[in-house]
Amino acid sequence: MDMAEDKGKLVFLPAVIGFWCGILFLLLLDTLIPHLHMNAEKAEGVPSKLARTTMMVLAVTLHNIPEGMAVGIVYAGFLSGSAEMSAGGAFALALGIAIQNFPEGAIISMPLHAEGKSKIGTVSGFPTILLCAVGIILTLTGIVIWFTGAMRSDMDENIKENRLKTNGIYAWLRNPMYSGLWILISGISLMWHNVFLIPVIFINWYMMTVVLKNTEEKWLRDLYGQEYDDYCKRVNRCIPWKRTL
């Protein structure tokens, strides 16, 4: 509503319209998509012949849509320059929602396991040990990189003084918080030792690269010009490694 102050007496209108559009959108999805709630006997949505486990997955997916919208709104506010929304706040919200989604994942995985579907795409033997070992290393690396970038970099001082951060962890990679999160996700994906999850790793990295190139990097290039271009030549976007020029 603060962003619509120039509308005068109709300052509340964008918020009200957006609120009701969101409600109607979710109601439409709830009405059309066949889904089954936990311990329910009768499915909701359009009648279908889908398995009970599939409809339970769809139910959890419906539940997660507004959570994803909430994270997207906060990130959009940050990228638009809103003073009330910071990158740290947006990431904290995303991380909090991700943590509370773990039990929801368990709700889905347990009935799938009971029906014998947990072994689809999984590997066994030595590849399992190798994937789990690499996954653990990546997971721990991601946690360290994210923590260093978010909590140990003194980024707030650079923001206050409008200076480009190029030392510390930022001398090794340009986006430690994003990179740490996706390295963490990649590690967890490998620990599941399921071949179907491996393409997801590359899709995640590709999406992160596209988003960064078209949002944050454009903004930083406009703000710092040649200084940022020189920094990009020295330091990788996401993989922690110093280039030799």
What pLDDT, in 10s, does the model give residues 133-169? 888 898 899 888 888 887 777 777 777 778 888 888 8
- Give the tens place of pLDDT for each residue, 178-231: 888 888 878 887 777 666 677 877 887 787 787 777 777 888 888 888 998 898
Q: Phi then psi for 117, rounded to 5 degrees? A: -100, 0
219 and 177, same domain (yes or no): yes
Query: What is the arithmetic mean of pLDDT over 17-26?
Result: 85
**Chain centre distance of CA 215:** 15
Range of the domain at 184: 121-245
Angle, helix 216-224 to helix 226-234, in steps of 10 degrees? 130
Does 183 share its domain with 111?
Answer: no
pLDDT of residue 86: 65
Classify residue 205: in a domain, yes or no: yes
Are residues 238 and 164 part of one domain?
Answer: yes
Entry pTM: 0.53
Contact status, residue 47 vs residue 34, Cβ threshold 8 Å: yes
| Total count of domains within the chain | 2
